A and B are shown apart, each in its own frame.
Chain A
Amino acid sequence: MKLRLDPRTKLFLLLLSNMTLFFHVNLITEVILVSILLSLFFFSGRYKSGIRMTLIYGFMVSAEFLIIPYTEGVFLNFIAMFSVGIRMMLPCVISGAYAFSTTTVGEMVCGLRKIKVPECIIVPSVTIIRFFPTIAEDYRQIKNAMAFRGIASGKLALLRNPAQSLEYILMPLLMNSNNVAQDLSVAAMTKGISMPGIHTSMTELRMTAADGCCMLAGVMPFALYFGGVL
């Protein structure tokens, strides 16, 4: 059976992986935590992203041992920045990617409601998530429109003439977003988004043993680190 975690657990794991940065834990603690996070991908049946993340992280860790001791000078700085600086951010990226790729919006909303986040924060967050695909779609349309007008729209144009390109993309994007925002608010209001009283969720969330285990497993490396074992 595939593992399904409660969004609250995912949030907790995300917080934990931030701790690695915050407390500047040693490498072995970080590796243990990341291994636990990576295993979640595999337990949830997300093999592809699991393998990809493992490869990236593995490469960066091994760079520390295999490349850095044998390099000098400017090149060393560059590699060190890459393998240490970016590597330290990876735990957050990995747990974030896990949380985002395995949580539906419904689960997220329900999770947020359970930890008593006020509606005035939930609704805008959901709206923002709703807007991302719309903006992506709009951007494609605008790029087509620019092509017909002979306005260069590629990445090169963006570099060469950033102000103008941005203007051409942003103008129609904003014009349209304004319309979309009004239509969406109207539709949402007729469906009762502004109803006073408690809003419920169709998705039911319950903390299971698996959630407990994952949280414990996540805390473990920190406990060992602060306990002086690692």
Chain B
Amino acid sequence: MIEVSKASFYYPNTDEGALNDVSLQINSGECVVLCGKSGCGKTTLTRLLNGLAPSFFDGKLDGMCQSFGLCAGEAAIEEYVPIVGSVFQNPKTQHFNIDTTAELAFPCENMGMNSTDIQERVRSCANEFAMEHLMDRSIFKLSGGEKQKIAFATACMLQPKLLVLDEPTSNLDYKAIQELHDMIAKKKSEGITIVIAEHRLAWLADIADRFCYFASGELQRQWNATEFLKLSNEEMQKMGLRPMDITSYRKRAKEKTKSEMLGSIPLMSAEHLLVGYEKKKPVYEIDRFAICKGEIVGLMGSNGVGKSTFAKTLCGLQKPIAGTMEPVKEKERLKKSFMVMQDVNYQLFSDSVREEVLLGANRPELCEAVLEALGLTEFADRHPISLSGGQKQRVAIASAMLSGKELIVLDEPTSGLDYYHMTQVAHLLNQLKEWGAAVLVITHDEELAAGWCDRVIYLEDKGKKNGI
């Protein structure tokens, strides 16, 4: 079992504790969800439970945090390996190997098991989670959901007593979350203790036994599952949490697929469009598409259906395989559009925020006004690398506004965000809309789509070609 008593944790060079005086007991076989706004301390607690802090993530620990006999700060990371399995947030950066089978075998190899036993265990694990079809594949060719499944399976390979998951679903679509949910439910039924730090809560309704709410490093409240399910969406929002019940949002997002375009003159349009990277391998077919200035359009659909390929084609990064587009030329479309990538780090090039937003700007005279509107004035002279994820996002958007782009595409801007930060992004979308931009949001976030998009375009699986 897990025992945390009066635990406080301070990262180096900070005065405020990431965790403050937290006491918590988790029994064997229990499934506990840690929730709260970003920076509330839940990730820090998972790091104490799997031994990464203070061994790898340096810091000062007061009090005690013990998981299955191992005390954080006393036991070495290696001692945790056979006891605790961990899954992290980013599907792209937690696989050490290039192919899936090697990844599953990796923990066993490190424990020095012999080759026959490892093969047997890999086989039974693939069988247990019904993922034989994922074996012997290149991890780089898997979808985000498949990558997370492999990560979870790898965490189970040494038959740990405790599984610690840190926001495992931030990048996943509905279906992938369901599949991960089923894998976790299976492990729970085997009596394994599970701790999940998570923003998206709805999928946990039937596996979690207890919910722990953190705010500024303190464990503020705990509910058992039945009590927690009774909380209304409004009460959850007040705490900055995502809703437990997203059916109404999903329904509203679906209804918005029927809405009409807000204006009459489209900024960009396409007909009978076939998108893809190779002529012989089309990815998706779209019959009709148009977007005009001053509207927010959500682009939804499952992982790998072709949302980003479509968006890239629209932005002029990619030639369509067939169909007509307006403007016709890729260069023209590229000149008009800007994409805020999911990983903003790729698009920050300069030494200071001001230089960054002025790089390639066509309307530099608006610089101060835009910085002010996006709340970036106080950071204008800082290096973009020192900003938080949300601030970086705004820097990217500011540079798009100053370069006079009219179509702004945002790729998953709210993945991994709590309710409070999600509404901030939503506010930003509205600002762009008022500024007169056409806003296209690629998203899995039903709550965002239902609340803030003017209409939703849903890429159904039936339009999918066999290109991927």
Contact = CB atoms under 8 A, between A and B. Distances in A.
A183 B93 contact: yes
A24 interface: no
B347 A192 contact: no
Contact of B343 (A141, A147, A148): A141
Nearest to A188: B96
A201 to B, nearest CB: 6
A145 B347 contact: yes
Contacts of B82: 192
A151 B360 contact: yes
B208 interface: no
Given A106-B102, A129-B98, A148 B338 contact: yes
A144 B341 CA distance: 10
B315 interface: yes
Interface residues of A, number: 51
A197 B115 contact: no
B454 to A, nearest CB: 24
Contacts of A167: 349
B111 A192 contact: yes
Contact of A147 (B97, B317, B345): B317
A227 interface: no
For A134, A183, A200, the residue with the greatest tally of chain B CB atoms inside 10 Å of its CB is A200
Interface in B93-130: 93-99, 101-102, 105-115, 118-119, 122
A40 to B, nearest CB: 23
B109 A201 contact: yes
B90 interface: yes
Contacts of A208: none
Contacts of A191: 81, 96, 106-107, 110, 154
A148 B348 CA distance: 12
A192 B446 CA distance: 38
A196 B79 CA distance: 10
B: interface residue count bin: 35 or more
Contact of A148 (B94, B115, B347): B347
Contacts of A141: 341, 343, 346
A186 interface: yes
B93 A192 contact: no
Interface stretch (A61-69, A91-99, A173-181): A173-181
A202 B93 contact: no
Given A151-B349, A191-B107, A192-B78, A130 B98 contact: yes
B78 A171 contact: no
Contacts of B317: 144, 147
A201 B151 CA distance: 19
Given A133-B98, A148-B315, A202-B119, A197 B112 contact: yes
A126 B97 CA distance: 8
A172 B346 contact: yes
Nearest to B102: A106
A189 interface: yes
A176 B345 contact: yes
B75 interface: no
B112 A186 contact: no
B334 interface: yes
Interface string A119-144: 00000001101100110011001101
Contacts of B337: 148
Of B99, B158, B345, the most chain A CB neighbours within 10 A belong to B345
B286 interface: no
A183 B88 contact: yes
A204 B96 CA distance: 20
B157 to A, nearest CB: 8
9 contacts: A144-B341, A145-B349, A147-B317, A148-B339, A149-B399, A176-B343, A190-B52, A199-B109, A199-B110
Q: Rank and list the top 4 A-B pairs by shortest CB-CB distance, nearest first.
A: A192-B110, A183-B93, A145-B347, A187-B94
Given A130-B97, A191-B96, A200-B114, 10 more contacts: A144-B341, A144-B346, A149-B360, A175-B348, A183-B93, A184-B96, A191-B81, A191-B107, A202-B118, A202-B122
